[in-house]
Homo-oligomer: A and B are copies of this chain.
């Protein structure tokens, strides 16, 4: 976690008290990859028969760890996850891939598991070679040392983050309590394609890998793929969902349409959305949390495109930073898509104050009403395009001088 910048004013009050999940061992240390005093390397080991689903960045310049995760994810089994911060091992060519393979081989040997059960994530500076000796030489220590806390692991994956991100949810299925625990990191280079960050979710609810995959993809679409900070897409984004088999069901899950999955899905969506919103709250320089709801669009895709276009507009984001109800910039951002929008049908509200209706300013519009509402830390923009029935929501933050300071003066 960055010590250089003030804690985001949108940070939650405290890190949640995350419960132990049977079958998992957490281990975090300081290995000295880049940072001086911060935990920077974590190993999470898991019991046998753990299923995993994996979604990674769509970037065509992915990091070496992303290439590795993509290679093994179809097998869908996991025994270990190793994560370092400070160096992304991205755009490092063959040497970068070798660093991943060395790390994996060491862990597989020490844990007596297959190498395709070892997941690797790296986050930090792009393009610098990662000295994997620092990691491999730490592995015995990581395996032997006493258990770390979720908070320590969550801290170890942070880079420019100004607070540590975690979330949890219980769900009662077949008369038993199951847990979902998630941790994440992310602050800049945040744009869906996929989530543009690291997020690891663990549950003791046992789910077959095929269903786990579908659940994760759907949950990511409406959480990490619905946030943006700066429209930039990381080379390292990885979201992993681990389902441990430590609390087996009497009757195992067979189909995604089961009621039991519905119960689980609800809790899973909540954890992912909570983490996604925390990432937005830690958006570099953020002073406002912005929700953009687009409704009455022809398709979900159009609704989401419009929401993202508004969310990614520097002019909209700076106007909100300045508490200026310059709604013309919202119109501009909708229009810039050049898509199937009919100008005369667009309606816009900010924090429930109606501004435009059917393509022009509402009668008796009082700018001071919106100015007042915009003093809030939470800004909600409602856009109706009145061409259909679909809707989408995207979360983002404002664009402030602090963003420039962080990104012009500092290398993460």
Contacts and interface: CB of A to CB of B under 8 A. Distances in A.
Contacts of A319: 407-408
Interface stretch (A57-65, A75-83, A109-117): A57-65
Interface of A is mostly: loop
B232 A324 contact: no
Interface stretch (A47-55, A212-220, A335-343): A335-343
B360 A315 contact: no
The 10 closest A-B pairs by CB, nearest first: A126-B328, A61-B335, A322-B408, A93-B360, A233-B336, A318-B407, A59-B335, A127-B328, A321-B408, A318-B408
B126 A329 contact: yes
A270 B286 CA distance: 42
Contact of A93 (B328, B334, B359, B408): B359
Nearest to A405: B401
B400 A408 contact: yes
A193 B91 CA distance: 32
Contact of A61 (B129, B313, B331): B331
Contact of A91 (B59, B337, B343, B404): B343
A62 B346 CA distance: 13
A229 to B, nearest CB: 9
A322 B404 CA distance: 9
A127 to B, nearest CB: 4
B235 A335 contact: yes
Interface in A84-143: 88, 90-96, 125-129
Contacts of A401: 401, 404-405, 408
Residue from A62, A129, A231 whose CB has the most chain B CB atoms within 10 Å: A231
A201 interface: no
Nearest to A344: B93
Please classify how large the interface on chain A is, using the bins under 10, 10 to 19, 20 to 34, 35 or more. 35 or more
14 contacts: A59-B332, A59-B336, A91-B328, A91-B331, A93-B358, A126-B326, A126-B332, A127-B356, A189-B315, A193-B336, A232-B332, A232-B333, A233-B336, A324-B408
Contacts of A127: 327-328, 331, 356, 361
Contacts of A329: 126, 232
Contacts of A346: 61
A403 B404 contact: yes
A283 to B, nearest CB: 11
A93 B62 CA distance: 46
A338 B193 contact: yes
Nearest to A95: B360
A205 interface: no
A90 B88 CA distance: 45
Contact of A314 (B62, B230, B361): B230
Nearest to A191: B336
Given A234-B332, A315-B189, A328-B88, A61 B356 contact: no
A358 B129 CA distance: 15
A164 interface: no
B60 A334 contact: yes
A282 to B, nearest CB: 16
Residue from A88, A230, A339, A404 whose CB has the most chain B CB atoms within 10 Å: A404
Given A193-B336, A319-B408, 4 more contacts: A61-B332, A129-B361, A232-B336, A399-B404
Nearest to A233: B336
A314 B61 contact: no
